[in-house]
Structure 1
Amino acid sequence: MTDHRFDTLQIHAGAAPDPATGALQTPIYQTTAYAFKDADHAARLFNLEEVGYIYSRLTNPTVSALASRVAALEGGAGAVCCSSGHAAQIMALFPLMGPGLNIIASTRLYGGTITQFSQTIKRFGWSCTFVDFDDLAALEAAVDENTRAIFCESISNPGGYVTDLPAVAAVADKVGLPLIVDNTLASPYLCRPIEHGATLVVHSATKYMTGNGTVTGGVVIDSGKFDWSTSDKFPSLSAPEPAYHGLKFHEALGPMAFTFHSIAVGLRDLGMTMNPQGAHYTLMGLETLSLRMEKHVANAKAVAEWLENDPRIEFVTYAGLESSPWHERATRLCPLGAGALFTVAVKGGYEACVKLVNNLNLFSHVANLGDARSLIIHSASTTHRQLTEEQQIKAGAAPNVVRLSIGIENAADLIADLDQALSAATA
C-alpha cells in the first residue's frame, strides 16, 4: 500500500472491508477485551511473537487502522495512537527518558508544550533546555551527556515559524540523538518530517487530521530508522526491559521496536489510550485531508495578503507571504503550502485585540485550531497567559497579537468579517 500516492493512502491505508460483514468503513470496535483461541495463542500475544489484540488499553482494531494509516501518510515504520497531542509528546519521550535526563527543545513552541516541558516533566525527574533553533551552534552546545532527544515543531504554534528540519536533523545525527518533530500544523500533506531527518513525529489528531473539532487524540509515528543500540543511552529499547520480562525490544523487533514498546509498556502503564469512536472520526477526517488542506492554504494566503496591506495591522507572520523571513524555508520544506495558522499584530495593542475578537462574526473565539471553521484567539490572555511577557514574545504570542486559524469558508467572506471587526477595534 505504501507505494501509492498520498490521496490514495489517506482513504485506503490501514483499512480493508470488514471480513465478517463486508462493511466498507472501518467498524467501531467498542470492546474492552478479546477472546484468545487458546492458552498458547495468549502466550504468543503477550510475548510479542504474534500480532493481535489483548485488551483495548493496548490495541483496538479501529485504533490500529488509524495508526497504520497515519504511519503510511508520514512514511513511518509504525505508529501508536493515544488520547491527545500532549499525551503523544509524553509517549514519544517515555521510552527514551529517566530521572536526571534532559531534552533540548525549540523556543518556538505552543505555550502548553512550553509549560509541559518546563514544569510538568520535572515531576518525572526530566528537564528541558530551550534553544533558538536558528542558532545551530547553540543547539549543539546545549547537548550534554544526559540529553536524550531534540524536539521542535515543523511549523510553530502560534507564530507560523518554519523550522529548518534538515539542518536540525544534521545536528541531531552528529550528536547521536533522536529528533522529535511535532507536525500538527503542517499535517503530513504539507510536510513529511521523516523525509527531512526526523526520528519520531507527533501529532495532535484533534486538529487537521480530524478537521471538524469533534475529537481529541494524538499519534506518535516512528521512522524506524534510528539505531537504538548504537549506544547505551536508550536501555528501554536496547537492553533487557525489566518492565517487560527482560525483552530486548530493538534486538527482537528492529524497526518496530519503538512502536511495540510504546504499546506494550507505554500504553499498558500510562494508559493514555485513544478511544475507538475517536479513531473512527479521525479515519473519516483523513479521507479528505488533502482536499481540506488545499482550501485551508488558499484561504490563508488570501487573508494574510489582505491583512499585510491593511494599515490597521502592524505585521503578519504567515510564512506563505513573500515578505516572511521563513518564506524560502517554507517553500523548500512545505512546497504545497505553509499551513493555515499565523499571527497578526493589531495596532492599538492588547485592548484592540480584545475588541477585534469580540466583534467578529464568522471567526469563532475558541482555544483550538485546524477546524473547518475559521478560529481566532488572543494567545496572551488565554493559551499563553501562564507565560511571562518575555516568554510570550519569544513564543510569538505578544500582547498585541492574535492567532488566526483559517478555515475552508469563502475567503471573501472571511476578509469582510475581519474588515468590519478591525474597524470596530481600531475606531
Structure 2
Amino acid sequence: MTEVRLRSILDNDFYKITMQNAVVKLFPNERVKYQFINRGNHFFPENFAEELRKSVHAMADLKLTKAEKEYLRLTCPYLDLPYLDFLAGYQYDPAEVQIRQAGNDLEVTVEGEWYRTILWEVPLLALISELHYQMNNFEREPDETIIQKTHQKAEELHRLGVNFAEFGTRRRHSYKVHDLVMEALIQSKTTKFIGSSNIHFAMKYGVKPIGTHAHEWFMFHAAEYGFKMANALSLEHWVDVYRGDLGVALSDTYTTEVFFQQFDKKFAKLFDGVRHDSGDPIEFAEKTIAHYHKNGVNPLFKYIIFSDGLNMEKVTEITAACRGKIGISFGIGTNLTNDVGVKPMNIVMKLTAARSITGDWIPTVKLSDEPGKHTGDPKMIELAKEFLRIKE
C-alpha cells in the first residue's frame, strides 16, 4: 500500500489562509471544535483510522518553505507580513486531532485554538478521500482518460465564454489526479481558466489562488455575537482586515433571505460579489440581481461565483439564465478532481462549537438554503430559526 502524504503546507484551500490571517489578527485567544461528517455513509475498511493517523502525524513535518513564503508575499499583498512570519513558524500539531473507528464508521474531531486548528479541515478531508479509494481498492480511469475529459470540459467552458476556477481539493480522488487535472487545464490554453482554490497548485502552475472566507467565519460570529449579528459583523470584520480586497461574500450560512437583509447598500457596493453554495442557483441569481437593483447597484458591475456541486449541464443552465444580467464565474470542484469512474465521496468537516469568554462551549450551526444541509445541534438549529424567523 502506498503511503498517503501531503507534500506541502500550502496544499490547502486558499480561504483557510485568508481566514487564518484574519483570526490571528482579531481572535487569537478563541478555542473551537470541528467534527467530520460522513454525509454519504461511506464504508471505511479495517485499519483505516490507523492509516489516517500515520498521514496526520506526517503533517507535523510540513513547513512553509522560503520560496512559498516569497510567493505569498508577492502574490497576496493583502496578507499581513507578521502573519507570513507566523505561518513560516507554524507546524501542525497532531495532538489536536482525535481519530476513532468503530467497525466501518469513522470519527474525526479537532479541538484547539482557532488560529491553529483552522488549517486542519481541508487536508483531513483530502487525506480521508484518497485513503478511502486506496484502501477499498477502487480502480480509477487511466491518466489519459482523465486528461482528455478535463480538456473537453475546459473547451466546453471556453465555448460558453465563462470564467472558471478549480475548487476540488477537499473531495479529490488523490493528489495525483488533482495534479493531472491542473496540468491539463493549463495545457488546454483556455483563457477562461482563472485559477485554483488550492494554493500549492496555484503556485506550481502559475495561476491565481482564489478564495475569501467559508461558512465557519459566519458560524463563529454567530456563536460569539448572536445569530442576528452574525452576517453583519462577519462582513464588517472582513472589511476591517482586508479593506476592500478579497471582496466575495458567502451568502448562505443562515439562508440567503437572512443574508440579504443585512447585506445592505454599504456591503452591496463594497463587496465585488457573492458566492452561491446551496439551493437553486438560478433562483439565487434572480434574488441577487433584484437585491442589487433595490440598492441602486448595477448588477453588471458585480458578479456571482457559483460553487455548489457543479457539472457541465448546471454551468450551461446557469450561464443561459444569467448572461447579460450579472457577472458570473464558476468554482468547479469534485467534477474536476474526482470525475474518474468511481463514486465521489460526500464528506464534510464543520465547526461544531466555539468557547465563549466565560469558558462555556457554544454549539455552532449552519442553516443552508437546502434544509438537508443544515448542520449542528438540533436544539440550536431550532433556536436559530426562531431568532432569525426562518420558516421552511
The interval holding the TM-score normalised by the smaller chain is: under 0.3
Q: Which has the higher helix share?
A: 2
Q: TM-score by structure 1 length?
A: 0.25
* TM-score between the two structures when normalised by the length of structure 2: 0.27
Q: Which has the larger radius of gyration?
A: 1
Query: Whose relative contact order is higher, 1 or 2, with alpha carbons under 8 Å and at least 6 apart?
Result: 2
